[in-house]
Amino acid sequence: MLIPCLACESRFVPDEYFRACSDYNRGLDLVSWTCPRCGNRDDLRVLPGELGFGYPYRGRFDVHDRVRVPGLRRKRGDLRLDISLDAGRWRVPTRIRQLV
């Protein structure tokens, strides 16, 4: 199972792909993803069995493209998203925005 970058069409094994996720946005239910190869930044929603790509619109996130990832699971936490696929586990933390 390889997961593509939608910008450069490089394909990644799940471990490489999910390690490139950062900053879980719980409000919009999104993670940021930065392509290790081309540096393209995408927002995506991790869903059971698939990844959803789209655009923020009026405070929501509308999924327009889906990439099927059979067996993909997610669990939402207060300040993180836990992703699992087969034996793999990845934790995407929420970046804390501090008001100083």
Minimum Å gap between C-beta 92 and Zn ion is: 19
Question: According to the binding rule CB under 5 A, does residue 2 interact with Zn ion?
Answer: no
Taking the alpha carbons at both ends of the chain, their separation in whole angstroms is 44
Options 2, 8, 13, 79; binder of Zn ion; rule CB under 5 A: 8
Question: According to the binding rule CB under 5 A, does residue 35 interact with Zn ion?
Answer: yes
Minimum Å gap between C-beta 60 and Zn ion is: 26
Q: What is the DSSP annotation of 20-57?
A: TEEEEETTTTEEEEE-TTT--EEEEEEETTEEEEEEEE
Q: Which residues bind Zn ion (CB under 5 A)?
A: 5, 7-8, 35, 37-38, 40
